[in-house]
Chain A
Amino acid sequence: AQSVTQLGSHVSVSEGALVLLRCNYSSSVPPYLFWYVQYPNQGLQLLLKYTSAATLVKGINGFEAEFKKSETSFHLTKPSAHMSDAAEYFCAVTVNTDKLIFGTGTRLQVFP
């Protein structure tokens, strides 16, 4: 069965600093991978998805993620954090099904 592990339940960065949120997956077949963002008291919004095309995926709000099969990773990055990026971020995986399996989430704090 597939799964994802998000390392670090909390990440804090200064405004303007690099954002790096880690996600490692486990799957016996090629996965589809996703990052979602959840702002306070809101539903989840799709940031980006990897579906076996380009390994570097660009999403909304300046975020991107790189699929690295050798490392079984799909880390989310943004070169320069904004205060508005403060939210909960979830990595998710699926394999040939419509059911997404989510990680436990990483809360991003951005300090001025």
Chain B
Amino acid sequence: GAGVSQSPSNKVTEKGKDVELRCDPISGHTALYWYRQRLGQGLEFLIYFQGNSAPDKSGLPSDRFSAERTGESVSTLTIQRTQQEDSAVYLCASSLPGNYGYTFGSGTRLTVV
């Protein structure tokens, strides 16, 4: 596609429920990244994919968080048993390897009530 697409754009969920966030990167971008942005804060790195493998998942905050990528395209970030501190905007970005010019999606705003 022309840009990085994320869905849903907004998600309100009850504490304890599981959520799935989707990222559709730019076609041909083999590198894909997930970041979290809490209100009024900077971007917190979560995980990086190169193709279908994740060489760096050091930012995943707990084992409730997981991500996968299939077919070198779509990625899903899953948060199990959501907690209120998971409320944030989850941003996805993609790039060509070594390009260092990320293209970001508009994010998914997750609110846990």
- A-side interface residues toward B, CB under 8 Å? 32, 34, 36, 41-46, 49, 51, 90, 94, 97-105
Contacts and interface: CB of A to CB of B under 8 A. Distances in A.
Contact of A105 (B42, B56, B98): B42
Contact of B104 (A45, A98, A104): A45
Given A43-B105, A44-B91, A102 B43 contact: yes
B102 A100 contact: yes
A20 to B, nearest CB: 19
Given A43-B91, A44-B43, 14 more contacts: A32-B100, A36-B104, A41-B106, A43-B93, A43-B106, A44-B104, A46-B101, A51-B100, A98-B33, A100-B102, A101-B45, A102-B35, A102-B43, A104-B41
- Give chain B's interface residue range (CB within 8 Å of chain A): 20 to 34
A98 B107 contact: no
A99 B100 contact: no
Interface of B: 4, 31, 33, 35, 41-43, 45, 48, 50, 56, 91, 93, 95, 97-98, 100-107
Nearest to A41: B106
Contacts of A46: 101-103
